[in-house]
Amino acid sequence: MKKYILNVFLILAVFNAKSQVNTTCFFEIDFGDFFHNDTVCLSINQYSVLNKKVLTSDFSTGITDAIVEVFNYMGSGLITIGKDSIKIKRISTPIKIKVSLNGRLSKYKINLEQGRYIKLSKNKIDKNEIDKNEFVFYQSKNPFEYE
């Protein structure tokens, strides 16, 4: 009997470890600098992720509170936005994102070979002028660093 319980315990431990390996972040989207009460919508493939979310960048860190993480695991997926989450089907490639800033739509096709970390910042034209409706797109193989 003890041997049976031990075997069941080992099988459960293996499944638990396997599920943890498969839940690593597939890719991440951060909204960075120069947002100030700006309205943003985001969809990833067919999934609506942010709908008219008002963003403001933290002056000291240069990032908003909208950090989107996409996970693929066990044939399905999950999108997290802070403490909120959306259960989805597994995200497949090509990955297409649509994002609007104050009503102006931009579209991007994501190639994960160029990195799984994506940052969208508001376009700053010069020291005094900010274009309220354009993004600057960054993609990296390494996580972005914020202070």
Strand 67-73 to strand 47-55: parallel, antiparallel, or no bridges (unpaired)?
A: unpaired
List pLDDT tens digits, range 20-59: 444 688 999 999 999 999 999 999 999 999 999 999 999 8
pLDDT of 59: 86
List pLDDT tens digits, range 68-100: 999 988 788 999 998 899 999 988 889 999 999
Say what the alpha-carbon torsion angle 99, 97, 139, 31 is, to the nearest 10 degrees. Answer: 30
Residue 138 near residue 113 (C-beta atoms within 8 A): no
Q: What angle do CA 100, 76, 25 make, to 5 degrees?
A: 65
